[in-house]
Structure 1
Amino acid sequence: MNASKIIGAILIIASMLVGYVGFNKVADSTKEINLLGLKINASDESGKTEGYLYVGFALLLFGGGIYTINNKSKA
């Protein structure tokens, strides 16, 4: 196994971890309470934005990992 495949695998694993953190940030930024039949929704927009940035960064890491593994350069 050469170094590019190892780096690609590390990038894919890192993307999964960053994506997990991002999804949790998005999920934790919205809370809903049912009080006497009235639904109250509280949302933290900055937390959602930060979570979406994490998810976007995870997609970039995943794409970079796939590219690195599939790259067939003659080095």
Structure 2
Amino acid sequence: MNTTKLIGAALIILSLSLAYIGINKISDSTTQINFLGLKIDASNESGKQQGYIYIGAAILLFGGGIYTLKSKNQ
């Protein structure tokens, strides 16, 4: 197997794992509590921001992986 294709596949797998971590960080940072009929929204803004950074990095790595796999340099 060609080294560039192996690197491209590794980048795609890494991007999927980063996206999973980012989505979990965002969902863990937002919580709604029902207390005596009142909805209380508790959110952690820095946790959300970290989650969005992980997702942005995942998008970049995914694009890099696709570009590396499709490169004509074989």
When normalised by structure 1's length, the TM-score is 0.95
**Corresponding residue for 1:32?**
32
Deviation at 1:73, TM superposition (A): 2.3
4+ long deviations beyond 3 Å: none
1:1-75 paired onto structure 2 within 5 Å: 1-73=1-73
The Cα RMSD (Å) is: 0.8
Q: Which amino acid aligns with 1:4?
A: T
Give the total of aligned pairs.
Answer: 74
Q: Where in structure 2 are there 5+ consecutive unaligned residues?
A: none
Whole-angstrom distance in 2 between the partners of 1:50 and 1:72? 35
Q: How far does the alpha carbon of each residue in 1:22-73 deviate from its partner, in whole angstroms, 9 at most, with x for none?
A: 0000000001000111000001000000000000000000000000000002
